[in-house]
Structure 1
Amino acid sequence: MRISCVLAPTLLSPEHIAVAERLGYERAWLFDTPQQSPDVWMTLGRAAELTGTIGLGPGVLVPSLRHPMSAAAATATLASRAPGRVAVAFGTGFTGRSAMGQKGLPWSAVAAYVRAYRGLIRGETVTWDGAPIKMLTSPDRLDRAAADVPILISALGPRGEQVTKDLDVDGIMSFGQVPAGMKDFTWGSLFIGGTVLEGDEPVDADRVKETAGPAWSIAYHVGMEFMGGLDAVRTMPGGEAWAARIEKTPEPERHFAVHDGHLMRLNEADEAAWNAGGHAMLKDVTLTGSPAEIRERVAAYAEQGVTELGFQPCGAQIERELEKFMEAVG
C-alpha cells in the first residue's frame, strides 16, 4: 500500500508537503475548499517548487467551482512544473458546495464535466455550453502537458462507483469509509484523519482533540447532509448537544454553523458534541490508536482493496503528525 498525505490547504502547506516528501510519503493531496483555504492550484504550484519527487494533486476538484478549461489549464500548468507527479480527483461537492449552501452535484453533471476536462487535457475538441472548445497551441505547449495525468473520482455508494467505472478513469477515492466496490479498481485511495496515541494517552486528551477531532467531527457533518439531518445526528454520541448548537443558527445560514472549520478544526457544535461524550466514537470514525492498532487497521484497509492511504494530519504540529504516522506504519 502506498502511504500519502492529504491536507486542508493553508499558507504553510507547501512547506508541510516538503516535509512529507522527506519522510517518504508517496503523494500529497490538497482539498479544494475555497470557502476556508488558499487556492488549491496556487498552493500546489508552490509545493512543486519546493519538492522534486512527491506526487501532487487536488483531491477533490468540484466541477461547479470552475470552467473545465480553467481546470485543464491549471492542471497543465502544474504538470509542466512537476512532470510525472500530478494526479487529479473530482467529486460532487462535499464540502466545496455544502459549505456554501448547495447540494452536491448530480452524478450526470460530474460525468459530463470529467469527460470534457479529460478531452481538453488530451488535446481534443469537446463541446461545452453549446460550442466546440479546445486548448490551443501555445509557446509553453500547455495543450499537451497534462495528457497523461491520472484521474480519480471520489465516490461512496453504488451510483458513484458505477459512474467511476463508466468513465473508465484511473481510480476511485473516498474519505473515512471504504467503498464496497473498491476492489474493482486498480487504484483505490482512502483519505482518513486521526493521530498516533502516545503511550496510555486517553482519546479525550486535548492534543488528540486538536489532531484527530476535525476528522471525527465529519461524522456529524455527514449525518446532517446525507443521513437524515438533525434527527439522524441526535442518535449519535454527543449528537443532542451538536444539534442544539446548530439549531441556534437560522436555516438560511445553517450551513455556516455545520461546516465552519470543516476538516481543519472543531466548530462550536463539534466542541459541544465532544464535551457531551461524542469523543467515545473517535476510534470508530478516525484512524486513531497506538502504532500497533494503526498497523492493524491499515492491513485491514488493504484487504478491502485500498491501494493508497491518504493520512490527514491536523493541528498546530503538522510535521509531528506526519512523522509519527509514518513511523507507525513503517
Structure 2
Amino acid sequence: MKFGLMIDTHVDKWKLIQHAEELGFHRAWIPDSQMIWADCYVTMGLAAVNTKRILIGTGMTTPGTRIAPVTAHSIGSINQLAPGRVFLGIATGHTSMRLIGQPPISPSELREYVGVLRKLLDGEAVDYTYRGRTAEIQFMHRDRYYVNLDNRIPIYIAANGPKALAATGELGDGWMLAGRTEKETTEGIAQIRSAAAKIGRTLPADFLAACSSSACVLRRGEKLTDDRVVNQTGSMVTTNLHLNYEVWELSGRKDELILPHFANIWDDYVKRVANYSLPPESRFRQIHDGHATFLQEGERRFVTPEAIKASCLVGEPDEIVEQVRGLERAGLTEISLLPPADYQSDVLRDFAELVMPHFKED
C-alpha cells in the first residue's frame, strides 16, 4: 500500500506537498475545481520545482472545463518540469461543473476525452471534434520540448457507475474510487477487469486502484465525539453529505439513495437546505460552502460517529492499520488523504508517524 495526499488547491500549498514528500508520502493529487480553489497547474508547477520524488498530478480535472488539447498541453508542460513524476486524473466534474450550474459530464464524453488525451500524450495524431468540426491534430515542435511526451503520463479515471468503470478498464492506467469500503473496491476492480477483458486488454501490473479519504489517529481514550476528531474529519463527512444530497435531489428524492450513516440526520439536513437564502436553482453555492476545505459550524451536528466511521480512516493506530490492510486485501493499492485545510499538517504527521511505518512500499 502506498499513501498520497489531496489538497485544497492554493498557490502556497506546494509547501505542504514538499512537507508531505519529507514525511514519505508517495503522490500529491491537485484538484481542478475553478470556483472553490486556485488553478491546479500553477500549484503543480510550484510543487514540481520544489520537490524531487513525490508524484504530481490532477485530482481530478474534467472535460467540462478544459478541452482535451489544452489539458494535454498543460500536463505535458508540467511533465517538462518534473519528468516522469506526472500523472493526469480525470473525472466527470462534481464541483467543477455543479458550481457553474451544470451537471457533471456524461460517461460517453469522459470516454471520448480520455481517448483523445491518450493519443495526444503518446505523441500521436488524433481526430478531434470541436464545435461540430472534426480535424486531425497533433503536437508540433516536439524536438524543442515545449511539452514533454517522452516520459509517459498515466491517466487515472475517477469512476463509480458501470459506464465510467468500463471506460477505466478499456482506456485507463488506474482508478480513483469515491468510496472506501472493501465491497466497493472488490466490485469496482472486477468490473474494470471485465471491461478490459472484453476488448482483449490486460491491465498493466502497475494499474492504480486508489481512494481518497481523510483520517484521524485517535489518542488513547479519545472519543469520536471529541472536538479534535470532529475538526479533523468534519469536512470529509459533510463533503460526502453534500454529494449524497445532490444525488438524492436529482433522482427525484429517492430515499433508497440515502446512505445509511446519514439516515438519522437526513431530515434535519434537508430542512437546513430548504431554509437557505438562495433560490433552489442557486443553492448549490450554499450546499458546497466549505467543500473539502472546512467544516461549517452550522453543519457540525451532522458529523456523527457513524458518519465519521463511514467516511474516514479513524481509530487508534492498530485499528487504522487493520482498516488499511482490509482495503489492501480487497485490491486497493493507494490511499490519499484529503484533510481539512486548517488541520492538514496534523493529520499528515500523525498518519505518517503512526500508520505508514506498518506498510512497506515496493
User: With structure 1 as the length reference, what TM-score do the two structures score?
Assistant: 0.92
Q: Per the alignment, in what secondary structure is the counterpart of residue 4 of structure 1? A: strand
**8 Å Cα contact 1:123-1:143 kept in structure 2:** no
Q: Per the alignment, in what secondary structure is the counterpart of residue 211 of structure 2? A: strand
Paired with 1:88 and 1:95, the residues of 2 have a C-alpha distance of 18
Q: Per the alignment, in what secondary structure is the counterpart of residue 292 of structure 2? A: coil
**8 Å Cα contact 1:88-1:152 kept in structure 2:** yes
Paired with 1:46 and 1:324, the residues of 2 have a C-alpha distance of 25
Paired with 1:4 and 1:306, the residues of 2 have a C-alpha distance of 13
Consecutive unaligned residues of structure 2, counting only runs of 5 or more, are: 194-202, 358-362
**8 Å Cα contact 1:126-1:133 kept in structure 2:** yes
1:61 matches 2:61:
yes
**8 Å Cα contact 2:79-2:151 kept in structure 1:** no
Paired with 1:114 and 1:322, the residues of 2 have a C-alpha distance of 32
Paired with 2:37 and 2:17, the residues of 1 have a C-alpha distance of 16
Paired with 2:272 and 2:57, the residues of 1 have a C-alpha distance of 35
Query: Residue type matched to 1:181 in 2?
Result: G
The answer for the alignment partner of 2:330 in structure 1 is: 304
Query: Residue type matched to 1:21 in 2?
Result: E
The answer for the alignment partner of 2:77 in structure 1 is: 77
Map 1:163-242 to 2 at 5 A.
163-167=167-171, 169-177=172-180, 178-179=184-185, 180-182=187-189, 184=193, 186-228=207-249, 232=255, 236-242=263-269
Between the aligned residues of both structures, percent identity stands at 27
**8 Å Cα contact 1:241-1:269 kept in structure 2:** no
Count of residue correspondences: 326
Paired with 1:310 and 1:31, the residues of 2 have a C-alpha distance of 12
Query: Residue type matched to 1:131 in 2?
Result: A
**8 Å Cα contact 2:215-2:233 kept in structure 1:** yes
CA spacing shift, 1:246–1:149, aligned 2, 3 Å: same
Paired with 1:8 and 1:279, the residues of 2 have a C-alpha distance of 25
Q: Per the alignment, in what secondary structure is the counterpart of residue 287 of structure 1? A: strand
CA shift, 1:5, in A, is 1.4
1:284 matches 2:291:
no
CA shift, 1:2, in A, is 1.1
**8 Å Cα contact 2:14-2:50 kept in structure 1:** yes
**8 Å Cα contact 1:77-1:142 kept in structure 2:** yes
1:252 matches 2:281:
yes
User: With structure 2 as the length reference, what TM-score do the two structures score?
Assistant: 0.84
CA shift, 1:171, in A, is 1.0
Paired with 1:99 and 1:204, the residues of 2 have a C-alpha distance of 31
